[in-house]
Amino acid sequence: MKIDLTDTTSSRINSGLIQARRAIGTPAVGMVLTLVIVTDEGSAYDALKAATEASKEHPSRILVVIKRPGRSPRDRALARLDAEVLVGSEAGTGETVVLRLHGELAQHAESVVLPLLLPDAPVVVWWPEAGPDDLASDPLGKLGQRRISDAAAAEDPVGTLGLRADSYSPGDTDLAWTRVTPWRSMLAAALDQKHSKISGAIVEGEAYNPSVELLALWLADRLGVPVERKVSGGPGITGVHLTSADGEICLDRPDGALAELAMPGQPDRHVALKRRETSELIAEELRRLDPDDIYRATVQFGTTHLVASGNGSPAAPGAPTPAAAKADPAPAAKKPAAAPAKKAASGSGKASSK
């Protein structure tokens, strides 16, 4: 069921939700959280589709906030709220409200969203596109126990990781980090088996891909070894190579779907490691609403232990550019990069003491 409300208020939207539920006989109980999506018209459809798919696993009230401040001074001086209320099959297993905030009201979105939150239920705020520099200080971000951004959608994906390190607050996370979960699980399982000490690592992936950088930072932080970053044609992360005295542990995924794991003294094996849809990433993040301490440690670790490959590697936060790497007479693989941000620099002390 769909109800269109023009020039409305939050109170009328709540009344519309009650009316729609009564009309189709769907109670409000069973919804476990409120998901607030802050986006624009261009990304609203894809974001709502992903959230609706994720609601099959996590029944929720989805509030889509689309800000339309206007281009002319007259439009910016107006304040109008339009809404679409979706309940039933069109809204997955929960209910959806699409909010379009016009004019000056776009600067006060929190005042519209607050009355529509489910009572006594956690709130998750998601920015499908580039989010604010400080998620926790954003007026809408303050409403959420969990705040999800996506560095891959930013204009400077890798540089955004420095902003996330600087402004991190408990509850912040990023879909670039969520994309790394299968890789971390597979590598952790491989390293749980008997092997000699890891002395170095190489991470291969697309240029300017924040997931590649986060995986390299995680390995550098956890293993305490220098990590070299190499550029490949993708898609996404294409390979991880860990060097040990016994030989090389290699996890290769050239096609974005099937990976091959090679370990010293064992036969090579194929493992499923497909690139996941946004709905799967959101569903994973909604499974836990507590702070992600591993993400915090990784993003604040910095690039002290990342090593430039000298073959066109993207400039990670503070890393030397390819030209600088070529101009250095010393091998680039021996040159550690600088930390990306103030907090990242302080986070690198842990690895330095290893």
DSSP letter assigned to residue 256:
S
Closest CA to 203 of 178, 176, 184: 184
Q: What is the pLDDT of residue 141?
A: 95
The pLDDT value given to residue 293: 93
The backbone region for 90, taken as left when phi is positive above 0, alpha when psi lies in -120 to 50, beta otherwise, is alpha
Taking the CA atoms of 345, 349, 351 and 352 in sequence, report the sign of the dihedral they define. positive
Is the CA virtual torsion 279, 61, 44, 128 positive or negative?
A: negative
Buried b (16+ CB within 10 A) or exposed e, 297-334: ebbbbbbbbbbbbbeebbbbbbbbebeebeeeeeebee
Task: Look at residue 324 in the predicted model and tell me its pLDDT.
Answer: 26
Q: Judge residue 93's burial from the number of C-beta atoms within 10 Å of its C-beta, 0-12 exposed, 13-18 middle, 19 or more buried.
A: middle
Per-residue pLDDT, 261: 93
Q: Residue 97: which H helix or E strand, with range?
A: strand 95-103
What is the model's pLDDT at position 144? 94
Q: What is the mean pLDDT of each run of 10 residues along the chain (354 residues)?
A: 89 89 71 93 92 90 90 75 85 85 92 93 93 93 95 89 91 95 93 85 92 94 91 91 91 91 90 92 93 92 57 38 29 34 35 34
